[in-house]
Amino acid sequence: MCKDSGSILAEEVKVGDIDLTEIFQSLGIKYTAKVKRVRYLRTVPISWLIPAMSLPGKSLAVGLVVWYLAGVSKKSAVTLSRVQLKKFGIRRMAGKRGLRNLEAAGLVKIEREGHKSPLVTIVIERI
């Protein structure tokens, strides 16, 4: 139970297979339903996507992770760590090769500083 408001969290509403929601509502007890948030990938320009699709391996997947992080942070330059790649099922070496391929194709610029995670900037050509 939440100490500050006296409401009950959604995890506390279910006991096994029994849903206590109706009982709590009939007693006038407030509860907070935990809603899963759906996450979306922002719109990726076709002029960027088509060249990325022709790259080998996980290059496109790495590029989409970069676009996702850029959308979440609302910046065109993002730090790409191994942990972030792992969340999307991309292994360290596959991520490294994918970034290298994206950079060689001119789709991203990478700033490396020692053993730190690289700063990746999305390059969008103006048409």
**pTM for this one?**
0.70
Q: Judge if 69 and 8 occupy the same domain.
A: no
Per-10-residue mean pLDDT, the chain, length 127:
54 60 74 72 89 96 95 92 94 96 96 94 79
Cβ atoms of 102 and 56 closer than 8 Å: no
Strands 77-79 and 31-32: unpaired
Q: Judge if 54 and 32 occupy the same domain.
A: no
| Number of domains the chain contains | 2
Q: End-to-end alpha-carbon separation of the chain, Å? A: 56
- pLDDT score for 36: 73
- pLDDT score for 127: 43
Q: Judge if 24 and 63 occupy the same domain.
A: no
Residue 100 maps to which CATH number?
1.10.10
Task: Give me the domain span that covers residue 24.
Answer: 1-36
> CA-to-CA distance for 69 and 96, rounded, in angstroms?
17
Strand 108-111's sheet: what is its strand order?
77-79, 119-122, 108-111
